[in-house]
Structure 1
Amino acid sequence: MKNVPESRYIKVQPGCGIWAPAIRFYAGKFWIFFPTPDEGIYVTTADHPAGMWSEPRLLQAGKGLIDPCPLWDDDGQAYLVHAYAGSRAGIKHLLRVRPMAPDGSRLLGEGQIVYQNPQRHPTLEGPKFFKRYGWYYISAPAGGVENGWQVILRSRTVYGPYEDKIVLAQGETTINGPHQGALVDTPKGEWWFLHFQDAELYGRIVHLQPVRWENDWPLIGIEQDDLGVGRPVMSYRKPSEGSIIVPQTSDEFDQPQLGLQWQWFANHRDDWYSLATRPGWMRLFPQAAETNLHLQANFLLQKFPARSFAVETTMELFPKQSGEEAGLVVTGESPMMLGIRYDGSKNLVILRTGEKQEILADSISPAVKFCVRVQDGGLCSFSYAPNGDFIEVPHPVQARKGLWIGSKLGLYSLKRSAILAAGYADIDYFRFMK
């Protein structure tokens, strides 16, 4: 999906946008149901998971409706389970199942609350709906993002009553909050549980756990306690299907489109950048700087790829007006930015940390290299090379997480005003190193 539905997402909306989606295959096509917690539940379809996906359609409007997942039953009836966002609806421990038209065109009523037990599971969200051997199952994370646990509900009827079982928790492991994901089965009959771990400034790290079934309950991980609660594993043999594919990080900007590792900070416009104007380079066109740069929509970012790493980029600034600027950015609670700025007569190297700005060098050439080294724990050391050798910025800065997301890093290009004609910045590469 190119952009998030609704016009307000042309602005950065911390903590908003698309929350937990569900993807399913039914009637010869792929379906994604997803929520935006302030607008409601959307659905989009495609013939192939790589797209093209249809324009998202608002299936059910409602503030606080989150984390939908469909189920098409054996008799052709369809249902949708969803949770509620405490921040919008004032409740966060209820799961509701609603009847749905089999073609996914509309919901057919309010349905029923199928589970609530705030004493046992004070937060219950992210439900996934499936059926196996006559049992209806709802898999749902409980207890909150950082330190929660995974719950399985099961019933012989779609509206319950459902019995519950905790199937995965941290225990004595280092994997906190091993929950919020989905059970999946392979063509060879293997079962796995895909989930995340909240790692603060490193974002949400994906894990894959082995699953076996016993007495029609899934047992997750390789060790269970006396109550059948599994413990997550850090390493395990991979599923028998599929090859190992390493996600892309570095970019030489020699392809006709941006790689999937890149994310804009808000809904973007195609005229923010070009990969065709100067082959082998990405051209960034500056956008007006927000008063609060934490809300700068045209930050082009990607997730931290490892606990410790370095990244280097080379860029050239071609300004038309004083105040045009481009550089390297690390986001979180507030952005940290190392860039080149034109002041009307010469180019400056500028370091921004929070609301502070520091001029590190002046009268440099329009071509400059920037680097940031991130230590385990997120301490960032910046450097720049205006003429060859890198010059270290004296004081490292601590990266911090954002709202419901980890810290990210990438590129930016700014100007002082939206009405001013502007130049551009050309980026040669963006390379990660150990």
Structure 2
Amino acid sequence: MELKIIQPAACCDPSTGCCEPDLPVAIIGAGPIGLAAAAHLKERSVPFFILEKGSIAANVRTWEHVTLFSPWRYNVDKAAGRLLEKTGWQKPEPEKLPTGAELIGEYLAPLAEMLAPDIHEHHEVVAITRDSIDRMKSAGRASKPFLIYAETPDGTKEMKAGAIIDATGTWGNPNPALSSGVWIKAEKELADLIDYGIPDVRVNEERYAGRRIAVIGGGHSAINSLLNLAGLKEKHPETSVTWILRKSSVEDAFGGGQDDELEARGELGNRIAGYVRDGRVEVVTPFRITEIREADGIVLSSGDKDLAPFDRLIVNTGSRPEFGFHRELRFEAEAITEAVPALAPLIDPNLHSCGSVPAHGEKELRQPEEGFYIVGSKSYGRAPTFLMVTGYEQVRSVAAALAGDREAADHVQLVLPETGVCHSGAGGCC
């Protein structure tokens, strides 16, 4: 699909980066947050286009077998819902827990179909800069349009935009197994024996049944992986499941339990606690992986201590943001979390759970590069406390600012379910 290149116009409000209505906003990423951003811009008649390196909701498709712990009422963006209802779309049961596949089929796919003329799949953004100037040039910078380079099946394309919303997320960029956070050659060479994310154990049963499996990580993804493997172990008792954590106590990973306002999220911790107690899941903690090597399987070392060889690893140690295509933009990431700087003290997982993050919007998401925003889970950097509903409020506020509605942009409201579980690491200018 060819993109219409809209010629640049001068910015009318450099303080917000908001440009003339005929200069589109480029949204990078067609996941839940990127599509929600498009819905808010569409409601406000702000032109936009979406660039997606794969297909819509590509990251969600990798965990479509997983049931979300948040019900539908937290997973449908309000602007998206309003637009869909005009087409006769039926809102899902608010308290039902969708799977990733249902999230796509019942919500994201219909939304993408409605936005289809402005979505361009298989357009991988590899660089963004300002037209005719690089990162070093300051004079007249805010009046220059953004220039986007994207790799497509037909070659490299160049596109211009008046503002950029980066909603690419972090899911496709996992952390390594080593506790140091460093990717080493040995881990890369063992890639065929390592899964990152939450693999579909039932579909790939032969890969795990009867084998020695280690799950590394202490958050929700690790718990989901372990529950799937525990179910497999009931069918194939010879399967060995080992849970490797860095925590001083495994109880620290069980989360909020009955105190969690999201019942399904609390139940995850309760279920895995039961499997640990009855021995279906063996726990090794604290264990900080300092070396990974092959010797009759995968051997993990922590100093002078080795864990017996494993046939496969499932690494659920979180994800990190990818900033490579930002290099010619003036952006900032907080030194510890790699989050948007103004968010870092609000989302420190040592102080906040998923439900205690204060409301925030366009003002907190601003970057030194006017008109450039990082939203969604990527705005949280490596912090594990992100919830989808948070991203929806982010993009609502950003869209309002880009439309020139300062009052709506500043009026941020966010009511989140409280829990302690996220300590575990597991949304016309002028």
Common fold by TM > 0.5: no
Higher fraction of helix:
2
TM-score (norm 2): 0.26
Q: Which of structures 1 and 2 has the larger relative contact order (alpha carbons within 8 angstroms, sep 6+)? A: 2
Q: Which has the larger radius of gyration?
A: 1
Higher fraction of strand:
1
